Amino acid sequence: MSKIPLSKCFVNPEVEEAALRALRSGQYILAAECKAFEAELAAHTGVKHAILGTSWTMIVYLLHLAQGLKPGDEVIVPSHTAFPTMEPLIHCGATPVFCDIDETFCMDAEQLESLVTPRTVGIIPVHLYGHPVNLDRVFAIAAKRKLWVLEDCAQAQGAKYNGKTVGSMGQFGAFSFFPSKNLTVLGDGGCLVTNDDALAEKVRMLRNHGRKDKYHHEFAGFNVRFNEIQGAIGRVMLKHLDGFNDQRRKIAARYNEWLQGIVRTPVEKPWARAVYHMYVIRAERRDELQKFLGGRNIGTGIHYPVPNHQQPGVTSKFKNISRLPKTEQAVKEILSLPIHGEMTLDAADKVCDAIAEFYGKK
């Protein structure tokens, strides 16, 4: 069997020409391509501002600085997410307070209120694997307790919650353009989106050495600037995003159809339009299955094997961390199957056949 990769980057002549266009322009940092990409991202998300940066991690770090996040502050986050979700707040001296998951693998919003203390300042709901968090509940608690909400959309660009695009509903949203993401710039990159004019201006200045123009620096900032080549590539990728997300949903539907009764397939809530950055099953004998699929040239992944509340970078710094039984059980069973915007239904069928063979249900 030919290799079926876990994910795949889209590259075609249009992408190549966009990169060459930027190369030939003679402008390489925060110029016309970046400005156009920001405008197009804002329009696609449904917000006023999109601010590009070198990564999700760095653009969110700048946001936290602009917010004035400080030592002693607490921010509620899921443990079951990529470690960068909490890295910026930790660098600001704040404390992550971990929330368990629900059946979608996302933050269990029903637990949020019990985690709020007088030190809580914000919530970071993560739309994990491309499925939105139960935002109505998140926003109700945030409004009641006067907390800000940052939507982590790193894995969910184009997903919908009750018909609204993720990233457009909290005070802030943040996207990642890492190569495996639904929208990539073929390298690292990230974007903050918001309707807050003042915070948008502050983050734009922070990413560019604290200046409003070339030689006047209002404060000390950073170099978190985006480049024109990736901006041009991102503009092409954005044109294809919705179509590729539709194809991911078709692959997920095929998996759901053929894997029912063999493994536990992902849950999609009625209010969600998931975009399946990852298609994650829960499987008995997970490690054996992964090895079996590897022997059939089928790529898989485990996202994520170690919960963040058990990571050494957390446990060495923060004490009295509560156990999260649902998260701790899930990480023993989860397995990500191949899915991407160019994957065929035939390839999905081959994955299903191999899984059925492993469990003796072919």
pLDDT digits (tens, 9 = 90+) for 211-254: 988 999 999 999 999 999 999 999 999 999 999 999 999 999 99
Task: List C-alpha distances in Å: 116 to 57, 125, 320.
Answer: 24, 14, 16
Q: In this predicted model, what pLDDT tens digit does every residue of 118-165 receive, in sequence order?
A: 999 999 999 999 999 999 999 999 999 999 999 999 999 999 999 999
The hierarchical CATH code for the domain 241-358 is 3.90.1150.10
- Whole-number Å distance between alpha carbons of 46 and 181: 20
- Whole-number Å distance between alpha carbons of 118 and 359: 50
DSSP states along 203-242: HHHHHBTTEEETTEESS---B---BHHHHHHHHHHHHHHH
Asked if pLDDT for residue 92 goes beyond 80, the answer is yes
13-235 fold: Aspartate Aminotransferase; domain 2 (3.40.640)
Q: In this predicted model, what pLDDT tens digit does every residue of 253-297 receive, in sequence order?
A: 999 999 999 999 999 999 999 999 999 999 999 999 999 999 999
Domain boundaries, the chain: 13-235, 241-358
